[in-house]
Amino acid sequence: MPVKMLLNKGKVPVKIYTKEVESSALDQLKNIALLPFVHNHVAAMPDVHTGIGATVGAVIPTKGAIIPAAVGVDIGCGMTATRLSIKANQLPDNLKAVRRAIEEAIPVGFAKHKSIRAKNSTIIALDKVLDKQIIGKHPAIAKMLKKTYQTWTQQLGTLGGGNHFIELCLDENQDVWIMLHSGSRGIGNVIGRYFINLAKKDMEQHITQLPARDLAYFTEGAKHFDDYVEAVHWAQEYALFNRREMMRLIIEAVRKPLPPFDITKEAINCHHNYVAIEEHFGEQVFLTRKGAISAYDGELGIIPGSMGAKSYIVRGMGNPESFCSCSHGAGRKMSRSAARRCFSQDDVEIQTQGVECRKDKDVIDEIPGAYKPIEEVMENQNDLVEVVHTLKQVVCVKG
Burial level of 116, CB count in 10 A (0-12/13-18/19+)?
middle
The annotation status of 398 as a binding-site residue, yes or no, is yes
* Residue 55 near residue 209, CB atoms below 8 Å: no
Q: Which helix (H) or strand (E) holds 100?
A: helix 96-105
Say how far apart CA 171 and CA 233 lie, in whole Å: 33
CA distances 143 to 31, 138, 168, 188, 190, Å, are: 33, 10, 38, 14, 9
Residue type, 394: V
The annotation status of 113 as a binding-site residue, yes or no, is no
The annotation status of 41 as a binding-site residue, yes or no, is no
The annotation status of 335 as a binding-site residue, yes or no, is no
The annotation status of 36 as a binding-site residue, yes or no, is no
The annotation status of 233 as a binding-site residue, yes or no, is no
Neighbours of 324 (CB within 10 A): 23
The annotation status of 379 as a binding-site residue, yes or no, is no
The annotation status of 329 as a binding-site residue, yes or no, is yes
CA distances 75 to 67, 72, 137, 317, 351, Å, are: 13, 6, 20, 25, 30
The annotation status of 76 as a binding-site residue, yes or no, is no
* Residue 129 near residue 122, CB atoms below 8 Å: no
Say how far apart CA 355 and CA 392 lie, in whole Å: 9
The annotation status of 317 as a binding-site residue, yes or no, is no
The annotation status of 263 as a binding-site residue, yes or no, is no
- 328 catalytic per annotation: yes
Q: Which of 113, 224, 271, 328 is catalytic?
A: 328
Pick out the residues of the known binding site for Mn(2+): 74, 164, 181, 272
Pick out the residues of the known binding site for GMP: 163-167, 272-273, 304-307, 311, 328-331, 398
Catalytic residues: 328
Pick out the residues of the known binding site: 74, 163-167, 181, 272-273, 304-307, 311, 328-331, 398
